[in-house]
Structure 1
Amino acid sequence: MREIIFDTETTGFYANEGDRITEIGCVEVINMLPTGRELQRLINPERDIPKEVTAVTGHTFEMLRDKPKFAEVAREFLDFVGDAVLVAHNAKFDMSFINMELERAGLPPIPASRFKDTAAMARERFPGSPASLDALCKRFDISLESRTKHGALIDAYLLAEVYLELNGGREQGLAFDESAGGAGKVAFPARPPRPAPLPSQVSEREREAHAAFLETIGGDRTLWKRLGLV
């Protein structure tokens, strides 16, 4: 299944009060594993950026002044996303900004049904525990060393790892086999036969003790003796 893990950086918290997107980062995953395809764009927000936001993202209006406006990258973003589900942390926040920018660009919004929220997934799985991206990275032992500032693409890659863990982690290596007659069937990798059987690790003393125990619970009537296991 193809999904897009994405994150946005913005000038503030309120899409309906004039705040704008300054960066968008997208990572393509198939069956919850990154494919290597990504999209990252810095965006001219067409307004000032508060100092407290710059302290978090590193973005200033001066560094973004010559970057494309969202309307100029909107079609590229939509083409990259296609019809995939959009996975974000606190998805309502990112959804509100994406759809606000699409509306400004004269494009239809993306339906809420196409967004998946990893924060809600984490709260359901770990009720009462912190559900921030940082907290989940620490819970799943995901390194934050590459992140000196909050960057959309860096955070999207971190979220891709968190998303995998929230869905069973590395056990996803037992991939769903869609070629075997439908989704939901697990394809276990074939193991080659052992070239020679392993020798028994049971000592003669242990064997005699086991035989004596079987006599106390039924002797020849026990399942072990009927199957020739003793």
Structure 2
Amino acid sequence: MNTSSNSEYNRIVVLDTETTGMNREGGPHYEGHRIIEIGAVEIINRKLTGKHFHVYLKPDRTIQEEAIEIHGITDEFLVDKPLYKEVHEEFLEFIRGAELVAHNAPFDVGFMDYEFAKLSGAAVKTDDLCKVTDTLAMAKKIFPGKRNNLDVLCERYGIDNSHRTLHGALLDAEILADVFLMMTGGQTSMQFNAGAQDGGEMGANSIKRVASDRKPLKVLYASADEVQAHEERMKLVDNSLWGQ
């Protein structure tokens, strides 16, 4: 499995899943846990296209209480949702041939491969369909020895995730897409959407360069109280699912 990205793939799919269980020892899928939500968004030429894949799934088992506390999805909500086998072909078509990006990718890919294997005659694995890129592994190389969960990365890159109160596969995929674009190029898809083509205003003539004789920027340092408050917040974040 690939642990870094050169972001050269023309088509990228950023993905997240929610599951019936969260036990990390040995992987929840080995205990018969299932995917209950898939969210994926498409990026082409470093722009979010608006095309996405999103579905809730009915598992053949109950959801653990600790998982419900994280994503808020209940057994009752999933009663009338499709089984994975009903969306299998559509899902494969969406990810096939793309660079598949996920945070802690072995977790999501493990579940996907488990679902694939449960279908009769479906010997396919995720790695057979697409290149897999793990943004958690990427982040650990960029920020060694530091927390690298999704919330922390949003804070580092200045990405607003204030609307994220519970984990949701589609919302987390959208947020991760912005994080991935920042990690691999320094600009998000929203910044690339302005018309730089066909004489648009984002052409070379609009670039404003900073004067070399400019005054140095004033550096503002955090106070002792602000540092302490930040550390307390990080302790709370580190106890979340994303505290990798």
2:172 and 2:85 map into 1 onto residues whose CA distance is 23
Determine whether 1:3 maps to 2:12.
yes
Residues 13-162 of structure 1: pairs in structure 2 closer than 5 A: 13=22, 14-106=28-120, 107=122, 108-111=124-127, 114-162=131-179
Contact 1:32 1:160 in 2 (8 A): no
Q: In structure 2, the residue corresponding to 1:167 is in which secondary structure?
A: helix
Q: In structure 1, the residue corresponding to 2:174 is in which secondary structure?
A: helix
Matched-pair identity in %: 43
Residue 171 and residue 104 in structure 1: after superposition, are their counterparts in 2 closer, same or farther (change >3 A)? closer
Contact 1:136 1:162 in 2 (8 A): yes
Deviation at 1:145? 1.9
- AA aligned opposite 1:35: T
1:171 and 1:136 map into 2 onto residues whose CA distance is 14
- AA aligned opposite 1:109: K
Aligned-residue CA RMSD (Å): 2.1
Residue number among 184, 188, 191 corresponding to 2:205 in the alignment: 191
Residue 76 and residue 170 in structure 1: after superposition, are their counterparts in 2 closer, same or farther (change >3 A)? same
Query: May I ask how many residue pairs the two structures share in their alignment?
Result: 180
Q: Which has the higher helix share?
A: 1
1:115 and 1:171 map into 2 onto residues whose CA distance is 20
* Higher RCO (C-alpha under 8 Å, 6+ residues apart): 2
TM-score norm. by structure 1 comes to 0.73
Deviation at 1:51? 1.2
Larger of the two Rg values belongs to structure: 1
- AA aligned opposite 2:145: G
Deviation at 1:82? 2.4
TM-score norm. by structure 2 comes to 0.69
Match of 2:5 in 1: none
Contact 2:11 2:99 in 1 (8 A): yes
Moved more, 107-116 or 51-60: 107-116
2:203 and 2:188 map into 1 onto residues whose CA distance is 13
Residue 67 and residue 189 in structure 1: after superposition, are their counterparts in 2 closer, same or farther (change >3 A)? same
Contact 1:21 1:97 in 2 (8 A): yes
- AA aligned opposite 2:94: F
